[in-house]
Amino acid sequence: MRTRLRGLEIAGIQMGIEVPDTCTWQWPESKVAEFVCLPREPEVHIGLRIADFSSADLGGERYGLGAWTFEVAPCGDDWLLGLSRRGVREQLARFDREFRNGEILVSREMAEQECFPLRSPLDEWIVLHRTVARGGLVLNGRTICDGTGSRVRLGSDAAGRLSHHRWAASRMPLMSPNTVVLREEGAHLRSFRTPWSDVADPLLSHSGPVADLTIAEETERPYRECLDPDEAAEQLVAHAVVPLCDENLFDRVLYNARRMAEQATVVRVGEVAQNVALVACPPAQFQNTVAPPSLGL
């Protein structure tokens, strides 16, 4: 059987998808297609196969995303990821714990539709795990252009133009429209644009250096203070995207936050009431998929 390798690179994480000649699919008509690359050195190797498989419950966490159900379940040293619609599973993926190698099984019905096999949130799940594995964090916030680099403003209020309805769109809000991927490269902290976030400053490229991270609060008088590493780490974790079904990932997020807080400049600023955007409260579903803010760091 002949195969060809197709590439996708998001947040500096290159994925190589090995496609057999019996399985054709098209890139989706979305921003994901802007991240297509030549798979020269894939960090994540993904096999693709058309197969028949069961629609039985995987016995893990289940998330609703419109007409779809996304399942995540541990299986020995691996992860099983399932995508079902109307009670019928159309994709079943198996990845190692590090999300370096995996295989996606596609139902015959889905293959006939030539659908993109890394349908969200599969691609989001991979990028999240590899980002954390490489020492990075996925945070709620937005990037703002600052000369040659960017500033990261943490918190959902950073995207004040978003409404509750945007949060409640028919997709699992793992990486909601206001998330930022941060990772150290060399001695510098960098932010990365993703196809799922629409709060990055349009003046910024796909990746750029970060000057500082800001947490804003409403106050009567403006102020600015640098946080010490312990408090900075606690704030980073409080704003991190962490699925509760993966304790190992959560431990890594704690470690990465502590390390990042020692290197990065994290500041808290006070903004007078009339200058603070209204906070859009995320729906209960999102609140249940991320780590609680009180961590006792």
**Of 78, 84, 76, whose CA–CA distance to 55 is shortest?**
84
What pLDDT does residue 118 have?
93
- Convert the pLDDT of each residue in 20-33 to its tens digit: 888 888 898 888 99
- Convert the pLDDT of each residue in 6-23 to its tens digit: 999 999 999 999 998 888
What pLDDT does residue 193 have?
85
- Integer Cα distance of 215 and 238 in angstroms: 11
What pLDDT does residue 26 have?
86
Please, are residues 68 and 91 in contact by the beta-carbon 8 Å criterion? no
Question: What's the mean pLDDT when you consider all of the chain?
Answer: 83
- Integer Cα distance of 125 and 79 in angstroms: 11
Query: Measured at the alpha carbon of residue 62, what is the angle toward residues 250 and 93, in degrees to the nearest 5?
Result: 80
Q: Is the pLDDT of residue 267 over 60?
A: yes
Q: Measuring CA to CA, how many Å separate 135 from each of 117, 236, 237?
A: 27, 13, 13
Mean pLDDT to the nearest integer, 34-62: 93
Q: Is the pLDDT of residue 105 over 50?
A: yes
Q: How much of the chain exceeds pLDDT 70, in percent?
A: 80
What pLDDT does residue 174 have?
66
- pLDDT bracket for residue 202 (50, 70, 90): low
Q: Is the pLDDT of residue 192 over 50?
A: yes
